[in-house]
Amino acid sequence: MRFELKHILVLLSCTFSTFLFGQNREEIKNSVIQQRIEFLAEEAESENIDFTTLTDDLSYYYDFPINLNNTDREELERLNLLSPFQIAGILTYVAQFGEMKTIYELREVESLDLNTINQILPFVTTSPVKDDKSFDLKRAFKYGGHDIFLRYSSVLEEQEGFSPIADSVLEESPNRRYLGSPERLYMRYRYQFTNQLSFGFTGDKDAGEEFFSGNNKEGFDFYSAHVFARNIGPVKQLALGDYHAQFGQGLALWSGFSFGKTPNALNAIRYGQKLRAYTSANENLFLRGAAATIELSNSISTTVFYSNKNVDANREGNDTATSDEIVFSSLQASGYHRTPGEMADKSAVNEQIMGGNVSYEKNNFHFGVTGVHYNYDGSFNRNLRLYNKFDLNDAETYNASADLNWIVGKVNFFGEAAVSRNGGWAYISGAQIELDPRLEMVVINRNYQKDYHSVYARAFGESSNNQNERGTYVGGRFKVAPRLNFTGYADFYRHDWMSFRVDAPSIGADYLAQLDYAPSSYVEMYVRYRTESDRRNATMTERPVNVPVDQVRHNFRYDIDYSVSKNLSLGNRVEYTFYQNGDEDPATGFLLFQDVKYNPNKSKWSFWGRMALFDVTGYNARVYAYENDVLYYFSIPAFFDRGFRWYGMLKFEPTRYLDVWAKLGQSYYSNVDEISAGLNQIDQPHKTELRLQMRIRF
């Protein structure tokens, strides 16, 4: 193997160099992040999602690549770019043949193809193993790096919530205006030494929130801080302050971000990292307290965690003036505290979470048991209706689960079964199979009972709460030719009880097919078709009761990116969406855009720009498109109505210690005189956003 490898290294070097001419390391990283975030935004149908964790991992490994000669399964899983078989292939290769001498040896690893290697190249390296991964406090504080981010964002047009209003009107209706200024401000500091030590804090102020005044005299509306360390003797993970806890497939406990259905049809399996540092600005989906993972033996570890924080909730008034009992009808997740009404919900209820996990891991086998207990200091008095009568309506609950992940040959079995305090249960099970080096498939079966409760469940599924859903998902990837790949999935699901806006049990199906083609190292393109059908209450009916009808959505996209030179790359996309609900008139959406990326050779400047035209006849036919933005800000506007949008972004790196971004973008609507509604309404047909960011590294 080694002898043969030496004879082909020169050829491989030429091949990789040619391939990477079209895309440098920075472009590959941005492309990987873009495709994942864009599809996830479409799934969630939201413009305000925080993908900091995903970006953190890829950006960190871009700056500090994984040493393939000294890594493990958990670290490679965090890339979200490799299949279980590819991870096993890398680890087996190093164990069998010793340290890799060059990155091009990856071509000899079983299950790795050129496209996958190209995707992971920016995030991996092959260096001699000089020391182990044990924690060294002196080195951790001597050789780590500091990151400071400062960001300013603002809508330049005046919005209703910031416009003048008579004092008498505001006194009578205090929620008719925002309390604070229109700027959004963000600050983050982080110190990091490899993956062994991380500590820092984050401050965030949304537009409309007060800053060093009123209810926020301490400055930002939200603060977060963390300390996270690894490999301190038997303590493999130690978290203090804010952190994430993620176990199994996410049925019992998975705080923070997780993948749903994506164009990478195989990326449906969860890989629980146990504990992670929390570094984003989401104000609710994290734990605050302390946690540790302790290695009891080479194959057995235990994790204990405790969290105590106040969360946003809709509190209700008491029936008696003497009662001090807290009664709340729902937990809030927006994180907005811009009006007196929203401020009343801020940190209204105390949430305590405690529990533990025991895991057995050896070779390619993992088995874990998790228990978690939730308690809120008050009475949960949800406004139950017929469709949500089985939802959690108790201030105390718990979950217990068992999970499995086992690789046998070319088959990866995985699953988790869980139960909640009220007896509701849920399970997910599946297998990923490598039928051929060119063909992989995954099959997932899930059954989440209508009365299963878990506050922080994030398992794979159509709905977000892992409740009232049964389904089967089949996904696959076929390497048709060296530069031609096909991916696709089919997901069939059923809701055995009513759900929001569906007043009857219902079924649904979701299909996706995508063909990726790279005719040369300078051109990449893909064609995607997706269709989803399910049921929803008719919006136009004279009947006295709601009647669920079939709704269908079709989406077609063609996307191409091509490098004109080493410095200039262009991209085009055309997208069409069709939506119909029952016998109502259909809605359609059309989007066409041109992207440009310019990075002059050896220049300190980089530029990204876009011009987009859109024509969307109904909100349900809206089209999402990810935009390049400043680091750790995620811009995914939804296009509807008719008009055009443009943006331009500059990045300036005067020194290795300083990065500066400036982005200006505007959406113009030709068929309306005002946009948005309520306190966000703008009495003009355009909306302009300015964003400035500075990053200091030392």
Give the integer Cα–Cα distance in Å for 279 and 310. 18
Token pair of 201, please? 């804090």
The count of domains in the chain is 2
Q: Can you point out the beta strands (E) in 261-362?
A: 274-277, 287-295, 300-311, 313-316, 327-331, 349-362
CA distances from 182 to 156, 338, 420, 465 (A): 9, 10, 43, 33
In a domain, 627, yes or no: no
Final residue before a domain boundary, out of 384, 413, 442: 413
Q: Give the 3-state DSSP-derived string for 642-661, with helices as H, strands as E and coil as C.
A: EEEEEEEEEEEEEECCEEEE
In a domain, 38, yes or no: yes
Please indicate, yes or no, whether residues 85 and 182 belong to a single structural domain of this protein: no
In a domain, 324, yes or no: yes
In a domain, 658, yes or no: no
Q: Give the range of the structural domain holding residue 389, as residue numbers without chain letter.
A: 178-413
Per-residue pLDDT at 57 exceeds 60: yes
Which residues contact residue 154 at a Cβ distance below 8 angstroms, ignoring those fewer than 6 apart? 182, 183, 184, 207, 689, 690
Per-residue pLDDT at 690 exceeds 50: yes
Higher local confidence (pLDDT), 583 or 509? 509
DSSP state of 376: E
Instruction: For residues 501-506, give the mean pLDDT.
Output: 93
Please indicate, yes or no, whether residues 118 and 240 belong to a single structural domain of this protein: no
Per-residue pLDDT at 363 exceeds 90: no
Closest of 225, 237, 249, 234 to residue 276, by C-alpha:
237
Under a CB-based contact definition with an 8 Å cutoff, are residues 500 and 521 in contact?
Answer: no
Please indicate, yes or no, whether residues 110 and 183 belong to a single structural domain of this protein: no
- The 10s digit of each residue's pLDDT in 65-100 is 899 998 988 889 888 788 888 898 899 899 899 999
- The 10s digit of each residue's pLDDT in 398-410 is 999 999 999 998 9
Please indicate, yes or no, whether residues 120 and 195 belong to a single structural domain of this protein: no
Higher local confidence (pLDDT), 685 or 318? 685
Q: What pLDDT sits at residue 7?
A: 41
Higher local confidence (pLDDT), 686 or 483? 686
> In terms of DSSP H, where are the helices of 338-426?
340-345
- The 10s digit of each residue's pLDDT in 190-244 is 999 988 999 999 999 999 999 999 999 999 999 999 999 999 999 999 999 999 9
Final residue before a domain boundary, out of 380, 413, 446: 413
Torsion of CA 312, 316, 322, 325, to 10 degrees: -50
In a domain, 12, yes or no: yes
Please indicate, yes or no, whether residues 210 and 280 belong to a single structural domain of this protein: yes
Give the integer Cα–Cα distance in Å for 689 and 674. 16
Q: What pLDDT sits at residue 6?
A: 40
Token pair of 523, please? 């051109």
Final residue before a domain boundary, out of 95, 127, 159: 127
Instruction: For residues 116-121, give the mean pLDDT.
Output: 83
CA–centroid distance for 467 within its chain: 21
Please indicate, yes or no, whether residues 309 and 402 belong to a single structural domain of this protein: yes
Q: Could you give the count of Cα atoms lying within 13 Å of 87 in the half-sphere of its Cβ?
A: 20
Triad 521, 648, 633: Cα angle to 5°: 85
* pLDDT grade for 470, boundaries at 50, 70 and 90: very high
Token pair of 477, please? 């990837």
What is the DSSP track for 532-552? EEEEEE-SS--SSS--EEEEE
Average pLDDT, the chain: 89
In a domain, 560, yes or no: no
Please indicate, yes or no, whether residues 325 and 396 belong to a single structural domain of this protein: yes
Please indicate, yes or no, whether residues 36 and 105 belong to a single structural domain of this protein: yes
Under a CB-based contact definition with an 8 Å cutoff, are residues 401 and 466 in contact?
Answer: no
Q: What pLDDT sits at residue 318?
A: 56
Q: What pLDDT sits at residue 41?
A: 54
Please indicate, yes or no, whether residues 319 and 188 belong to a single structural domain of this protein: yes
Closest of 306, 257, 246, 258 to residue 285, by C-alpha:
257
Choose the weakest-confidence range: 50-59, 118-127, 152-161, 527-536.
50-59
- The 10s digit of each residue's pLDDT in 634-677 is 888 889 999 999 999 999 999 989 999 999 999 999 999 999 99
Which residues contact residue 3 at a Cβ distance below 8 angstroms, ignoring those fewer than 6 apart? none
In single-letter form, the type of residue at position 498 comes to M
Give the integer Cα–Cα distance in Å for 333 and 312. 7
Instruction: For residues 387-403, give the mean pLDDT.
Output: 94
Please indicate, yes or no, whether residues 217 and 89 belong to a single structural domain of this protein: no
Q: What pLDDT sits at residue 33?
A: 65
Give the integer Cα–Cα distance in Å for 414 and 424. 21
Per-residue pLDDT at 32 exceeds 90: no
In a domain, 29, yes or no: yes
- The 10s digit of each residue's pLDDT in 332-351 is 888 999 999 999 999 999 99
User: Residue 185 sits in a domain of what CATH number?
Assistant: 2.40.160
Which residues contact residue 627 at a Cβ distance below 8 angstroms, ignoring those fewer than 6 apart? 610, 635, 636, 637, 647, 665
In a domain, 684, yes or no: no
Instruction: For residues 367-392, give the mean pLDDT.
Output: 92
* pLDDT grade for 498, boundaries at 50, 70 and 90: very high
Q: What pLDDT sits at residue 9?
A: 39
Token pair of 586, please? 């259909």
Please indicate, yes or no, whether residues 276 and 403 belong to a single structural domain of this protein: yes
Per-residue pLDDT at 577 exceeds 50: yes
Instruction: Report the predicted TM-score, pTM, of the whole model to 2 decimal places.
Output: 0.90
DSSP state of 106: G
Closest of 307, 159, 144 to residue 241, by C-alpha:
307
Triad 657, 631, 644: Cα angle to 5°: 135
Instruction: For residues 112-122, give the mean pLDDT.
Output: 82
- Strands 686-697 and 658-669 turn out to be antiparallel
Burial (Cβ within 10 Å: 0-12, 13-18, ≥19) of residue 597: buried
* pLDDT grade for 689, boundaries at 50, 70 and 90: very high
Q: What pLDDT sits at residue 541?
A: 62
Which residues contact residue 232 at a Cβ distance below 8 angstroms, ignoring those fewer than 6 apart? 135, 238
DSSP state of 321: T
- The 10s digit of each residue's pLDDT in 264-315 is 888 888 988 899 999 998 898 899 999 999 999 999 999 999 999 999 999 8
Q: What pLDDT sits at residue 17?
A: 40
Is 298 strand, coil or helix? coil
Please indicate, yes or no, whether residues 7 and 98 belong to a single structural domain of this protein: yes
CA distances from 224 to 81, 188, 241 (A): 29, 9, 8
Choose the weakest-confidence range: 120-129, 314-323, 509-518.
314-323
Helix axes 52-63, 25-44, angle to 10 degrees: 170
Is 412 strand, coil or helix? strand
Q: What pLDDT sits at residue 258?
A: 79
* pLDDT grade for 42, boundaries at 50, 70 and 90: low
- The 10s digit of each residue's pLDDT in 239-278 is 999 999 999 999 999 998 777 788 888 888 898 889 999 9
